Structure 1
Amino acid sequence: MTKDIRLEDFDISYAGHPILKSTSLHLSAPTADSGGRRYGLVGRNGIGKTTLLKAIGTREIKFAEHISVLHVEQEIHGDDTTVIRAVLAADSEREGLLAQVEELTARLNSLSTTGSAKDNAGTDDAAALTKTYARLAAVDADGAESRAAAILSGLGFDADAQKRATRTFSGGWRMRVALARALFVKPDLLLLDEPTNMLDFPAVVWLEKYLSKWPTTLLVVSHDRAFLDSIATDIIHQHSLTLDHYRGDFSTFVKAREDRKKQRIKEYETQLQYRQHLQAFIDRWRYNANRAAQAQSKIKILEKLPPLDAPTKEEDEGLGAGGSHIYFRFEEPERLAPPIIKMDGVTFGYNVPKPPPPGSKFILENITFDLSPDSKVAVVGPNGAGKTTLLKLINGEIEPVRGQVTRHGRVRIAYFSQHHVDALEMNLTPVQFLAKKFPGRPEEEFRRQLGKFGITGPTGLQILGTLSGGQKSRVVFAWLNMTSPHVLVLDEPTVNLDMDTIEALSRSIRNFAGGVLIVSHDERFLDSVCNEVWVCEGGHMARFEGKVGSGDGIVRQ
């Protein structure tokens, strides 16, 4: 049976708003020559990409039952199961076969001890056991653990981490386990929504290489251009309640869209010029006795022409192709004398008392730096190296067990993290949320602040729970901006943002006159805004300011 997926003439809506209308989606099955097709799903924030993935993953849109589908959308539940065991357990066929072997072996052993191993039951069980072993060999059950370990290693789990209970990991790491389970199972259709969000640079590079050889069909939402260029064989563009299909990677898609856009504009201008020519003839000769018949003929031609609609920008929004109407703007902070934040010999470890006893385990040790009012700093390093911990120390959420953090007496710090996005009151509108945070201020000010971050018109009056992840992030940026910060401390700020929004955020940070510290997996974003890199690794931090004249960005250096 074919593994082609053909979704015909379907509609999707969310919270009463249409997402797609009378549209179709065709996903081709793998072939022996080219392997699996890998589709990148792109479009602006709030257009409904995640809603489409959920509708496919839950089979709300019907397709053939023999096609297996897996949608990686949430972290696994943490319990005492080890990481490696959690991945192996995802293969339900292998688990069932192993359980069958155990049951059949136990029955045969029981028959053997009672001296009746050669009766019909024993013969049947022995035949079933042989058949089960053959199927286990066919699915390479013996190699399953090594395959699972290789996937986990690529996603950042070392040998010790693979043996730890899943409950000992944070939500971000459990999300990696969920991704590892999906990669291990290899469903006919794998649905991934921003899979690079929780990964560091090495894990992203590994995932790119792994998915570039993916044997089945993949549909992935991502804002990461380099990632899509690395893995995508096709691009699905969601816009204007419909889906358009393009062959090639993201860069090929952008060029094709630009060529098509130029062609549309040329056709529009040609048609407009033709109509203007007809109208000019009509206006000049319709009341002239000698030309009135010709003028009437032109009028009939003009009336029969279909409506002429000017090309719109909407379908190009969110693609980072330029021309976006999205503009972020952080308020100009008052100038403060440097340094505005200083660390001197700071050491920190979780669950470590103050003063720390001998043998304590530290995340960061003996960190010293000064932050100037105009610093634009990228904080990089492997997962677990203490990047987010450093930001929390700067923000005052946690206190060092040794050393001192000194902040300027008037400094205001705006701290963005996905925790703040998750903490939004989802039953309120953006305007109501800001009114609750800043009571007494006029509604017009809240609308103006939201407008600075692309939340305009009716979107400001929608319930927060109905907004996309990127739109919720914009609301948080507006909230933080209203505190008039001197320093922006941003932990993975590009998560869930479309490409236009990331470019708008980049421009606003470059133009911001205060200090900035950023943790992000998005190398392109960091290179576009940062002039200094702090590298966290092995409990220590090193500063890097880049080489003048190098062709590489500072983070890549």
Structure 2
Amino acid sequence: MLSITDISIRLAGRLLIDQSTVQIPPGARVGLVGRNGTGKSTLFKAIRGELSLESGSISLPPRWRVGSLAQEAPSGPESLIEVVLRADLERDALLRESETADDPDRIAEIQTRLVDIDAHSAPARAAAILSGLGFSAADQARACSEFSGGWRMRVALAATLFAAPDLLLLDEPTNYLDLEGTLWLEDHLAHYPRTVIVISHDRDLLETSVDQILHLDRGRLTLYRGGYSSFEEQRATREMLDAKAVKRQEAERARLQAFVERFKAKASKARQAQSRVKMLERMKPIAALVTQDVREITFPAPERLLSPPIIAVDNASVGYDPAQPVLNRVTLRIDNDDRVALLGSNGNGKSTLVKLLAGRLAPFSGKVTRADKLSIAYFAQHQLDELDETGSPYTHVRKLMAEAPESKVRARAGAIGFSGKAADTLVKSLSGGEKARLLLGLATFFGPNMIILDEPTNHLDIDSRAALAEAINEFPGAVIMVSHDRYLIEACADRLWVVADKTVKTYDGDLDDYRRMILSSRSGAAARETDRTQVTEKTERPRGDNRRNALKQKITAAEAEIARITEIIAKIDGALSLPDIFTRDPKQAAQLSKARANAADALARAEEQWLEASTLYDEVAG
């Protein structure tokens, strides 16, 4: 059990958690929620022992392993599968020791323990996790250093999940995932066999993957049973009762104070008045509900609606190399009031499509027709890095209103969420959510006819995501969105387009249908077919997957595994060949025999993998 007892945490002079106590039982799946900046990540640091407590204690069972996502993405010449396999430190250490151990007793212990932890199935388990997070079989054999930072963070997540710690701490794990990877992770966490605490602003993950909600609010931790919807209902009821209790207490205070004021000067009533003074002193104040209204998000309406369609694409191909287009035969139409969500794994071409729609990429062939005077706003997470860190929201708005008077610039800064002193805060001091709000306001500043939103919910808390959904629904123009947030898609999109197999198709089902399809494909043979046809993009994923090289790497890895297991079997056979082993120590002999049988099974699997990869290599090589 994770026991958090009367803890207080202060950071940079600010009290984040104040004398809070909570008990989390083994096997619980907990969603940690709260506004940005309340101290959720700080609590994780305290649980990991990286931060000192001002008071109180945090205790774990002595043998529990605590795992969390690495802060830095792995990078190096090792293949993805090797990086993930090494996350199981015990298995890795046992395998290394098995290569040098020559004592029969120790060999038996090592092989028995490897059987106990199901070590020989580890490569299959690691491959399944990598596949679920969007890596094809060919990707898994490639060097980690070949992938971009975002993809390497997925590898770090895969390694953390594979290690299967007793306490799994995940801080916004979907930030590096597409919708497909998020759907897989939701399902994986829902079946995680040990204790997990996940910080997330994703309503669907909190609804489907956890069975308790830990709420951090105004420095206090409160544990609620059930998913996010149940939490919202329980919290609303609790706050209503608290508000009534505050009113009752205020009325009682007023009554006692009136009695004291009336009779404190009368000798006959002095004792009763003094008694009521003591009652007032003992009356512990009930924390009144502090309203934390979320600043709304608004998108300026375009000056006028254009004649439909505002964009028509006819049989277009587009990409970065005319010889290898990312998308082919794209035909689609966008009207004024369309709300379109783009589905499909990262690397399939969603960003390429939105760049085509935004006019940032010209088609190699086909035709793109845009309405006259069409204005498009484009928001993408990478643009956060383009903000001037030394500037403020006011200076960014001022650049867009160079001739406007001070009052109008201040008013416009306030309209996008930065009123008063907030407008003069340096960008480098803004939170991720505040930067996203600023960028949204700047991107849509002049009232566009169409807004393209590429992962707009990263860094936004749950309430801000709801405000974004409301802004999208109230906007009179068209909206194209790429998002891993299922809540946002379901709340706003009325059309779904799937970007896959080098083209774009309308998806007639809903997100529940799509979720079932994704989970089925990534856990079975359909995943391999998807991997085979997956398209890579120049700016998001390394291009030019060489299937021959990937197969060659698999052959080399299988050959190394065959050699390693063969050496282990030779050592076991040497121990079993001792003349008196069966009479002197029958228990040890039985362990060695069992270890040899398991090693023989592992050898057969490695040989089968080698044969399969060699056959495919010969076919590809021609």
Q: In 1, distance between residues paired with 2:51 and 2:341?
A: 42
Which of 435, 440, 451 aligns to 1:472? It is 435
- The RMSD of aligned alpha carbons is 3.7
Q: Given the alignment of the two structures, is residue 245 of structure 1 paired with residue 223 of structure 2, yes or no?
A: yes
In structure 2, what is the equivalent of residue 481 of structure 1?
444
Question: 1:287 and 1:208, CA in 2 relative to 1: closer, same or farther beyond 3 A?
Answer: closer
Q: Given the alignment of the two structures, is residue 540 of structure 1 paired with residue 503 of structure 2, yes or no?
A: yes
Which letter maps to 2:335? S
Question: 1:349 and 1:25, CA in 2 relative to 1: closer, same or farther beyond 3 A?
Answer: farther
Q: In 2, distance between residues paired with 1:209 and 1:192?
A: 15
Which letter maps to 1:484? G
Which letter maps to 2:375? R
Q: In 2, distance between residues paired with 1:55 and 1:462?
A: 29
In structure 2, what is the equivalent of residue 332 of structure 1?
301
Q: Given the alignment of the two structures, is residue 224 of structure 1 paired with residue 202 of structure 2, yes or no?
A: yes
Q: In 2, distance between residues paired with 1:183 and 1:129?
A: 29
- 1:33-91 CA distances to partner (integer Å, 9 max, x unpaired)? xxx12221111233232343345446224766864333215462344322211211222
Q: In 2, distance between residues paired with 1:295 and 1:205?
A: 66
In structure 1, what is the equivalent of residue 93 of structure 2?
96
- 1:94-119 CA distances to partner (integer Å, 9 max, x unpaired)? 22222222234xxxxxxxxxxxxxxx
Is the 1:29–1:216 Cα contact (8 Å) retained in structure 2? no
Q: In 1, distance between residues paired with 2:405 and 2:5?
A: 48
The answer to which of 245-254 and 512-521 deviates more is 245-254
The answer to which of 253-262 and 49-58 deviates more is 49-58
Matches within 5 A, 1:44-123: 44-57=35-48, 59-61=50-52, 67-72=64-69, 74=71, 76-104=73-101
In structure 2, what is the equivalent of residue 40 of structure 1?
31
Which letter maps to 1:12? R
SS of the equivalent of 1:103 reads coil
Is the 2:260–2:274 Cα contact (8 Å) retained in structure 1? no
Which of 337, 344, 353 aligns to 1:390? It is 353
Runs (5+) with no aligned partner, structure 2: 518-622
- 1:410-462 CA distances to partner (integer Å, 9 max, x unpaired)? 33221111101243344444334444666565565555444334445554444
In structure 1, what is the equivalent of residue 619 of structure 2?
none
Is the 1:523–1:556 Cα contact (8 Å) retained in structure 2? no
Which letter maps to 1:333? P
Which letter maps to 1:497? L
Question: 1:442 and 1:25, CA in 2 relative to 1: closer, same or farther beyond 3 A?
Answer: farther
SS of the equivalent of 1:400 reads coil
The answer to which of 176-185 and 520-529 deviates more is 520-529
Matches within 5 A, 1:72-471: 72=69, 74=71, 76-104=73-101, 125-275=103-253, 300=277, 304=281, 306=283, 311-314=288-291, 317=292, 324-338=293-307, 339-350=309-320, 352-353=321-322, 356=323, 360=324, 362-435=325-398, 439=402, 444-445=407-408, 447-471=410-434
More helix by share: 2
SS of the equivalent of 1:403 reads strand
Question: 1:135 and 1:307, CA in 2 relative to 1: closer, same or farther beyond 3 A?
Answer: closer
Question: 1:278 and 1:298, CA in 2 relative to 1: closer, same or farther beyond 3 A?
Answer: farther
Q: In 2, distance between residues paired with 1:434 and 1:55?
A: 39
Q: How far does residue 274 in structure 1 lie from its aligned partner after superposition?
A: 3.9
Q: In 2, distance between residues paired with 1:551 and 1:220?
A: 23
SS of the equivalent of 1:472 reads helix
Q: In 1, distance between residues paired with 2:3 and 2:352?
A: 45
Is the 1:18–1:241 Cα contact (8 Å) retained in structure 2? no
Q: How far does residue 365 in structure 1 lie from its aligned partner after superposition?
A: 0.9
Which letter maps to 1:334? E
In structure 2, what is the equivalent of residue 524 of structure 1?
487
Q: In 1, distance between residues paired with 2:130 and 2:162?
A: 10
Q: In 2, distance between residues paired with 1:172 and 1:207?
A: 16
Q: How far does residue 489 in structure 1 lie from its aligned partner after superposition?
A: 0.4
Q: Give the percent of matched residue pairs that are identical in Structure 1 and Structure 2.
A: 37
In structure 2, what is the equivalent of residue 121 of structure 1?
none
Q: Give the TM-score normalised by the residue count of structure 1.
A: 0.80
Q: In 2, distance between residues paired with 1:437 and 1:408?
A: 25
SS of the equivalent of 1:87 reads helix
Q: How far does residue 268 in structure 1 lie from its aligned partner after superposition?
A: 2.2
Q: In 2, distance between residues paired with 1:58 and 1:368?
A: 55
Q: How far does residue 276 in structure 1 lie from its aligned partner after superposition?
A: 5.3
SS of the equivalent of 1:337 reads coil
Question: 1:292 and 1:85, CA in 2 relative to 1: closer, same or farther beyond 3 A?
Answer: closer
Q: In 1, distance between residues paired with 2:105 and 2:265?
A: 100
Q: In 1, distance between residues paired with 2:486 and 2:503?
A: 21
- 1:267-302 CA distances to partner (integer Å, 9 max, x unpaired)? 22323444555678899x78999x998997898589
Q: How far does residue 4 in structure 1 lie from its aligned partner after superposition?
A: 3.3
- 1:181-218 CA distances to partner (integer Å, 9 max, x unpaired)? 00111123222122233334443333223222323321
Q: How far does residue 473 in structure 1 lie from its aligned partner after superposition?
A: 1.1
In structure 1, what is the equivalent of residue 10 of structure 2?
12
Q: In 1, distance between residues paired with 2:236 and 2:123?
A: 47
SS of the equivalent of 1:377 reads strand
The answer to which of 176-185 and 495-504 deviates more is 495-504
Question: 1:134 and 1:427, CA in 2 relative to 1: closer, same or farther beyond 3 A?
Answer: farther
Q: In 1, distance between residues paired with 2:123 and 2:289?
A: 53
Q: Give the TM-score normalised by the residue count of structure 2.
A: 0.72
Q: How far does residue 390 in structure 1 lie from its aligned partner after superposition?
A: 0.8
Which letter maps to 2:295? I
SS of the equivalent of 1:246 reads strand
The answer to which of 21-30 and 411-420 deviates more is 21-30
Is the 2:340–2:479 Cα contact (8 Å) retained in structure 1? yes
Q: In 2, distance between residues paired with 1:555 and 1:189?
A: 27
In structure 2, what is the equivalent of residue 495 of structure 1?
458
Is the 2:4–2:23 Cα contact (8 Å) retained in structure 1? yes
Q: In 2, distance between residues paired with 1:365 and 1:273?
A: 72
Which letter maps to 1:493? P
Q: How far does residue 231 in structure 1 lie from its aligned partner after superposition?
A: 2.2
Q: How far does residue 554 in structure 1 lie from its aligned partner after superposition?
A: 11
Is the 2:74–2:156 Cα contact (8 Å) retained in structure 1? no
Which letter maps to 2:288? P
